[in-house]
Structure 1
Amino acid sequence: MTDEQVLAAALADPDAQPLTPERMARMQRTPPVRVIRRALNLSQQEFAARYHIPIGTLRDWEQSRKDPDAAARAYLRAIAGDPDGVRKALRAGPR
């Protein structure tokens, strides 16, 4: 397929629309977990324990061996936005 045919096929599929610069600008990016952890001045062990993340998973994310899935990215955004609120919610437990 030519580039034009690929673009036409993508535009014809409503579930596979290419990202426009405008849509890219609106997308929320998750800060790298290392940046979040360091901003909170926590070691890997402290961050993992505080936010109930397996230490191996945290290390994999920080060393780019694995990327957080969508749920983990949402959780990391919540931690970045309100670290104390997330910590309090985890301490409160289920209702």
Structure 2
Amino acid sequence: MARMTLEEAVARPSTIDRAKLDATTEDDIRRYQVEDGYGDERDLGDPVEIVPPGVIRARLAMTQQEFAAALRIPVGTLRNWEQGRTAIEPAARSLLDAVWRDPVAVLAALRPPRREPTSQVG
């Protein structure tokens, strides 16, 4: 692998065709995106309201510990989300969206199943 200093990299002549770049329109860019498989932005559907996890938790009148336990996540993860220290992964965002829309059903579905007593045949 060839290595160079920052000064060497900056001193190299540019290989970018500035005239071609300046002539590129938004329609060209969109066409390139479609050609590269990124689809049409209309395929993305309506924008989704992003409700912060702290707002969801407050609506449910739950502590961080209670809410984290109900979602089956570490309380530290919830704290990081609420304080903006870490981004919420898409799957977790979907879970939070579902809780926002129908908290009773989603939290009931997340509850561990009750174990039926097994009869012992002796």
Indicate the TM-score class for this superposition, using the shorter chain for normalisation. 0.7 to 0.9
Which consecutive unaligned segments of at least 5 residues does structure 1 have?
none
Which residue among 59, 76, 89 is the counterpart of 1:56?
A: 76
| Change beyond 3 A, Cα 1:18–1:56 | farther
Which consecutive unaligned segments of at least 5 residues does structure 2 have?
1-20, 114-122
| Change beyond 3 A, Cα 1:5–1:84 | same
Q: Count residues with an aligned counterpart.
A: 89
Structure 1 outlier segments of 4+, above 3 Å: 15-20
Q: Does 1:37 align with 2:45?
A: no
Aligned residue runs from structure 1 range 1-95, under 5 A: 1-2=21-22, 5=24, 7=26, 8-14=28-34, 15-16=37-38, 26-91=46-111, 93=113
| Post-superposition offset of 1:44 | 0.8
| Post-superposition offset of 1:17 | 6.3
User: Normalized against structure 1, the TM-score is what?
Assistant: 0.75
Q: Does the residue aligned with 1:13 lie in a helix, a strand or coil? A: helix
User: Normalized against structure 2, the TM-score is what?
Assistant: 0.61
Identity %: 36
* Bigger proportion of residues as helix: 1
Partners of 1:72 and 1:50 lie apart in 2 by 13
Higher Cα Rg, which structure? 2
| Change beyond 3 A, Cα 1:70–1:6 | farther
| Post-superposition offset of 1:88 | 1.3
